[in-house]
Amino acid sequence: MARPPLWIRTSLALFVAIGISACGDDYTGIQAIPEVKITVTPTDLVLTTGQRSKLEATVRDEEGRVLTGRDIQWSSSAPDTVSVSPTGEVTALAVGRAAIGAYSEQSVGFARVVVQLSYRLPVSAGWVVVTEIGSPAPECAGHEGGLRLDGSRDCSHAGLSRYSLDLADAGQWSGALPATPAPEVVAAADGIITDICIQPPVEVTCGTNGPFVLIEHAGGFSTIYAHLDPGSVTLRRKTAVKRGQLLGTMGAWGTSPAPWVHFELRHENKGASAARVLDALLVSGRTLREYGVGHTR
């Protein structure tokens, strides 16, 4: 590309020099704006449809000092899912996810809002939680694992399986004869069946969980129902199911004295790393941590 004529270059240089001279020492036109950092709290929020919550934005300078009186502009990446007011109040409108941004002085901070479905425990009969979700357990890898009724640890309740409950018929778990018929297992929420294994582990392994059904739900959630009686599962992959729809019945796999089901929740196929979302998830009106060993309906 040819250079501009000399007279144009000379004129531009003179114009810039005059402009700088006119502004004196207070030449704010090209001064860099001091960097600020914006933090939005809470950073992760789980709501149900129609629920509201308030987000707070904190502005700090480069030294970490809080700056007050700053104008904050709020926006939602999915306003049809989660709306946000000029003051940072969010409203859950539909199941899904949204990133909420707080903008000020060319900086931005974010919070993630997840709108969950209405989940319920996947059992209709009397039940007992025989293993709670992952909790401190030095004898287990990652220092997490479930607690059995007899006080021992079940180290399988860790990693991706950390957010899981083992449910059994309360009247049968003491060692009595298995319930007849076996307790039913139903879908915890609306979704689509994406995987099924109905072959007994003796013939074709379904993994340590035995025969199972996997359901994908809106908002990045999935649920797993394992240790089922393979003969009771009649649905197939790619089948849409409604909350409370029958999936099968509990099976007596492993060393359990009665039929039971392993009920597991994941978010974005993560376990402990999705803790801030899964800790707040409600199932039958309770967080998973509110269910304990021996907890009956």
Query: In the numeric block, which tokens belong to residue 198?
Result: 């109905």
From the CA atom positions of the chain, what is the Rg in Å?
A: 28
Q: What is residue 178's predicted lDDT score, i.e. its pLDDT?
A: 61
Say what the pTM is. Answer: 0.78
pLDDT reported for residue 57: 96
Asked whether 262 and 123 are in contact (CB, 8 A), the reply is no
Q: So what's the pLDDT on residue 49?
A: 92
Which segments of 60-148 does DSSP mark as H helices, in order? none
Write down the pLDDT at residue 38.
Answer: 96
Q: What's the pLDDT at 12?
A: 37
Q: pLDDT digit of tens for each residue in the chain (297 aa)?
A: 444 444 334 343 433 343 434 444 454 455 555 688 999 999 999 999 999 999 999 999 988 999 998 999 999 999 999 999 999 999 999 999 999 999 998 899 999 999 999 999 999 777 888 887 777 777 887 778 888 877 888 888 888 888 999 998 877 766 666 657 788 999 999 999 999 988 755 555 677 677 899 999 998 999 999 989 888 999 999 999 999 999 999 987 765 667 889 999 999 988 777 888 898 899 998 998 888 888 776
Instruction: List 225's β-bridge partners, or say none.
Output: 213, 263
- Are 283 and 267 a contacting pair, CB within 8 Å? no
- Residue 33: the pLDDT is 59
Burial of 282 (0-12, 13-18, 19+ CB in 10 A): middle
Question: What pLDDT is recorded for position 34?
Answer: 66
pLDDT at residue 193 in the model: 97
**Helix, strand, coil in percent for the chain, rounding step 5:** 15, 40, 45
CA distances from 287 to 21, 48, 119 (A): 66, 13, 10
> Among 57, 151, 65, 149, which residue's Cα sits nearest to residue 107?
57
* pLDDT of res. 205: 64
pLDDT at 295: 78
* Strand-pair category, 260-267 with 164-168: antiparallel
Closest residue by Cα to residue 294 from 181, 120, 162, 165: 165
Q: Which domains are seen in the chain, by residue range? A: 37-116 (2.60.40.1080), 128-290 (2.70.70.10)
